[in-house]
Structure formats: C-alpha cells, structure tokens
Amino acid sequence: MGEDGTVTAAPQHPTAPRLIATDLDGTLLRDDKSVSERTIAALAAAEAAGIEVFFVTGRPARWMDVVSAHVHGHGLAICANGAAVVDLHAGGRIIEVRELPRPTALDVVHALRAAAPGTSFAVELATGIHYEPHYPPFFLDPGATVATAEKLLRTDHSEAPVLKLLAHHTELAPDDFLAVARGAAGQHASITRSSPTALLEVSGLGVSKASTLALCCAERGIRPEEVVAFGDMPNDIEMLSWAGTSYAMGNAHPDVVEAASGQTLANEEDGVAVVIERIVARAKGA
C-alpha cells in the first residue's frame, strides 16, 4: 500500500479480468464475519459486468452461509483450502473432492507427534469435523466425535473422504509450528495455516487454493492473467502467486504482502470492494 494508504499494484498485462478469486476471513469479510453493503454492491457490479467471482477459502462447505446470499449467478466456491469444490446454489453441496488419503494423514500425525510433542488433531471429513480430547472444541459442530486421530482416521469410524487434517499446538508460535511441521511432514502433504493461532491445515500433496482454482479456471478457458486474487494469510500465498494480478490485504501476513503483486486496504476498510469498483469502472470505460 502507498504511504498515503492508497491501493498499489505492480504493472500488469493489459488483460481484462474474467474472474475474481477472493478469500473470506480477514479478506472479504469484516472482522465480525459480515459482508459490508459496499462489498455486496461491488460483487453485484462484478456480476453485471460479466466477471465471475469465486470464493476461495479454508472454511468447510457447512460454514459458507456467511456469503450464500451474495453468490449471484455463479455460485461455485472452493472450500477447505482446495480440497472441495462446492455449489452454493445447492445448499453447499460438495461436487468435487481432492481428498487427503488416510494413510498419508496418519503419516503426518505420527511425524508431528514426534517433532512437536503436545500437538492435538482434528479430522475434517466431507461430512463434518471430529477431534481429539485436547483439541480446542468446535462449538459450531456439537455433533463431532471426540477420539484420537488414529481412531478418527480408521474407516470403521467413517468412510467419508478426508478433506484436511488440522493440527494445534498450545506453546509454539504459529510460524514456528508451520516450519517444524513442513520440515517433519512436508514430503507427505501440503501444510499451511490461516489462523492467528498455532493451528495448521494439512491437505493432500499438491492440493491448495491455487491448484484447485487453476483446475476450475482451465475448465472455463480462463488463463491466470485473467484472474485477480485477494488474500491475507499464508494459505493464500500460492493463489496470489498464480493469479495474474493479486492483492494482499492491508492486514495481511508479511509473507502474503511479499507474494502479491499489489496491496489494498484492510478487510475492515472494504479493501476487496475498492479494487473491484476500479475493475468494473475500467470495464465500463473500455
């Protein structure tokens, strides 16, 4: 961002955007998880201009009600850091899964138990989340099974696909925990984080917001240079690097700022809407 608080972006190819890919928490959403009136109007303006909008988030499909009223005519979202493609017009139905194989998830559990004693785990299935006794409880998911990760990953517990494994530590700093985990288990799976706490998200090897977005765009004949992306946390870095134009939020993690081609205002200042308004204004002036 410029010293005066204005939006900045590196010079880009003069290609008209066809798709906007935006993270939710800390990006499109305000801190209270609401969507501002300005952002609602900007999303509608993008729709009217023929620009597709994809919500690309670490959230599971069942937590997409925060934006379900604002999907307009498109309605597809990428959830669980790329592990699921979801149809929001069909009540959040998962239409594509890129699962984390259970043996791989167990390899990660064993590696992190050894490398970072005190780690607790949760298992995000396509049907819901389950977690260990010492894992911070999910009050939004009162029906979760509480058991060891080893038990939760057995097929006699559930045969539903594993979307991601979550690992939590009470003592390590978030970025330190991420570094330890990648060193211990990065050969098995994709490991990232989006929480301000030491909470890691583990997906199948090669699965990320970026790789699933790339697949969705290829199906639509949309090139990377026709995509504008927004994000604020390390789980957005690959997506911001892949997109032709990308913006880190004013509240973004330093590594995200470095990865993006530009920076916009913070989520509390409607930074995504500010950029979309400019994109739509340019499209109308073309």
> Smallest Cα–Cα separation from 25: which of 141, 224, 210, 196?
196
Q: Which two tokens stand for residue 51?
A: 């620009």
Give CA–CA dist 56/266, Å, rounded: 18
Residue ranges per structural domain of the chain:
8-97+208-285, 102-204
Average pLDDT over residues 184-204: 97
- Alpha-carbon dihedral of residues 151, 153, 155, 158, nearest 10 degrees? 90
Q: Decide if domain 8-97+208-285 falls under CATH 3.40.50.1000.
A: yes
**Contact 56/76 with Cβ under 8 angstroms?**
no
Q: Which phi and psi angles does 87 have, rounded to 5°? A: -95, 105
Q: pLDDT tens digit string along 19-28? A: 999 999 999 9
Give CA–CA dist 167/195, Å, rounded: 11
CATH topology of domain 102-204: 3.30.1240
State the helix-helix crossing angle for 271-285 and 37-48, rounded to 10 degrees. 30
Q: Is the pLDDT confidence value at 74 over 70?
A: no
Average pLDDT over residues 139-150: 84
Q: pLDDT tens digit string along 91-127? A: 888 999 999 999 999 999 999 999 999 999 999 999 9
The vertex-48 CA angle with 43 and 50, nearest 5°, equals: 100
